[in-house]
Amino acid sequence: MQARSQRKVIVIAAPIGGGKSTVVTALASALNDAATLRFDDYETATRQSVEELAKWLADGADFNQLQAPGLAEDLAALRNGDAITDRNGSAINAGMQDLIFEMPLGRVWSATAENIDVLVWVDVPLDIALARRIREVSADMLRQDAASAKRGLGWLNDYLGHYIETIHKVLEAQRHVVPAQADLIVDGTAPVASIVQRVLDHLAQSASSVVAR
């Protein structure tokens, strides 16, 4: 029996507020509605307290200690062309189309590293990324009633306090290790269409190189 060919896994990585989801959606559309998978749907790190994250940083910031139960198995299944049901209960099966994997840790998280074919780092200054995040949250607050907006403002105040104390350090650690293993680094402040085109050009060049060998 002839072995099934594997679909290509393209990872989009960026800091919080770097535009990962926007790029993933646009790239998936450009690749004929390619299937997508999100690390954020599996990870448990955001459930940790600030104190736990601070301890993780103090202990060396080993990204392999971050948990995402079932993710490695689901990614391997998808890469082999099998269907899965993700953590949101949605079925994912796109034949043998490319898979776009929204994965902020890139190849640093060893459980999925072997199933990554192309890693794209969306490079965004952390101040710009934070401003985007604040704008996203505040825009949502402006659409809410006064009581909900007040609760949202309280959340934002707490988030910024955590950002100063811990989250910024986590993002610095991410920036130190993830882009170093990237196959392509793109300017995250550029228009999304330009970012997607750069990725498509890179994929085309990579495919041409393989054929030429």
The pLDDT value recorded for residue 212 is 53
Count of Cβ atoms closer than 10 Å to residue 17 Cβ: 20
Task: Give residue-wise pLDDT tens across range 170-179.
Answer: 999 999 999 9
CA distance 193 to 26: 8
Statement: the pTM of the whole predicted model exceeds 0.75:
yes
Choice among 19-23, 92-96, 124-128, 164-168 with the minimum mean pLDDT: 92-96
Out of 3.30.230.30, 1.25.40.10, 3.40.50.300, 3.40.140.10, the CATH code matching 9-203 is 3.40.50.300
Average pLDDT (38-66) is 90
Concatenated DSSP letters of 1-56:
-PPPPPPPEEEEE--TTS-HHHHHHHHHHHTTS-EEEEGGGT--GGGS-HHHHHHH
**68-96 per-position pLDDT tens digit:** 999 999 999 988 888 888 777 777 775 66
| pLDDT surpasses 90 at 4 | no
Contact call for residues 149 and 141 (beta carbons, < 8 A): yes
Q: What is the pLDDT of residues 147-183, one digit of tens each?
A: 999 999 999 999 999 999 999 999 999 999 999 999 9
- pLDDT of 2 over the 80 cut: no
